[in-house]
């Protein structure tokens, strides 16, 4: 596999300069904490849904110490309808660790970031790149898809990046740290806006001339991707319960009506086990 050349880097970065979305966490002066908050919120949630809650969150908790001292109830209410509310608890736990272990300052070291609660390899790399402008390997679903198509000629990336695969992908990252960080931002945006999963706009792609997938006639993925159901799932039930609890201080078990009592009981138990709700005297409240 040959490395992506500088001309390709230039084209993607030039496209980004003209077409990048004006997302609030990209504004000049955004703190490393603001970048970290955005990355946690953006997990499995589209950017347009995150922009408003992110701004409100940063107004309320502008530094890790302010979130660390907040109540779990307030944090879950502020998380609102972003989904997967365990992310809110992980972010609060990360803030507490930053205060206790790093004097309230988000560390600029990837290994230190990985030791924070709820921070995985992608998030640690993204914070190092986008907040501290370091050279690192940022691999989200959009970047992986663009590289799979452009370099490998595959419609979709493989399900898992092995150590060997990650070593190969490092070759495509520019050597200069600032340029590498900009490349990561740019190729991620290209995947989000142009080289999308279902409807790629190859005519609007700045690097279509050298795309292996396009040259091969855009072969389909070898295995169809399964969409995740929603109606009737535990995810729906859990989300419905959390929404009701955000609207009220407490909820009596006797007032909860759900079509499947067994599923309701299971979801209440799982929410309690995750620390998202408390059960006292047959009454539910937010937080542990």
Catalytic residue IDs: 39
For 150, which DSSP code? I
Give the HSE-up count for residue 43: Cα atoms under 13 Å, Cβ half-sphere.
22
Please work out, in degrees rounded to the nearest 5, the angle formed at the alpha carbon of residue 24 by the alpha carbons of 20 and 29. 100
Give the residue ranges of DSSP H helices in 81-211: 86-102, 110-114, 121-130, 141-147, 163-170, 177-193
Q: How far apart are CA 178 and CA 159, in angstroms?
A: 29
Angstrom CA distances, 112 to 109, 123, 125, 224, 257, stand at 5, 12, 11, 38, 45
Radius of gyration of the chain (CA): 21
* Cα 53 to chain centroid, rounded: 14
User: Residue 194: which residues within 8 A CB-CB, separation 6 or more?
Assistant: 200, 201, 204, 205
Tokens coding 160? 């898992």
């Amino acid at each position: 596999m040959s490395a992506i050349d500088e001309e390709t880097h230039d084209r993607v970065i030039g496209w980004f300069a003209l077409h990048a979305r004006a997302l609030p966490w990209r504004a000049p002066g955004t703190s490393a904490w603001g970048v970290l908050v955005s990355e946690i919120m953006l997990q499995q949630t589209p950017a347009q849904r995150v922009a408003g809650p992110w701004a409100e969150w940063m107004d309320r908790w502008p530094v890790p110490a302010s979130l660390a001292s907040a109540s779990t109830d307030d944090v879950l209410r502020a998380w609102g309808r972003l989904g997967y509310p365990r992310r809110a608890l992980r972010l609060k736990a990360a803030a507490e660790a930053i205060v206790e272990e790093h004097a309230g300052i988000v560390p600029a070291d990837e290994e230190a970031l990985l030791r924070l609660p709820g921070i995985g390899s992608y998030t640690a790399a993204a914070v190092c790149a986008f907040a501290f402008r370091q050279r690192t390997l940022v691999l989200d679903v959009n970047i992986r898809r663009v590289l799979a198509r452009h370099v490998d000629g595959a419609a979709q990336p493989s399900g898992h990046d092995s150590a060997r695969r990650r070593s190969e992908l490092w070759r495509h990252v520019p050597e200069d740290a600032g340029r590498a960080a900009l490349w990561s931002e740019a190729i991620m945006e290209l995947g989000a806006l142009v080289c999308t999963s279902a409807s790629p706009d190859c005519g609007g792609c700045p690097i279509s001339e050298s795309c292996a997938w396009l040259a091969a006639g855009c072969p389909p993925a070898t295995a169809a991707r399964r969409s995740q159901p929603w109606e009737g799932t535990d995810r729906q039930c859990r989300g419905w319960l959390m929404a009701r609890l955000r609207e009220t201080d407490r909820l009596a078990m006797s007032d909860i009506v759900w079509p499947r009592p067994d599923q309701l009981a299971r979801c209440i138990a799982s929410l309690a086990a995750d620390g998202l709700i408390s059960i006292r005297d047959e009454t539910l409240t937010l937080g542990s």
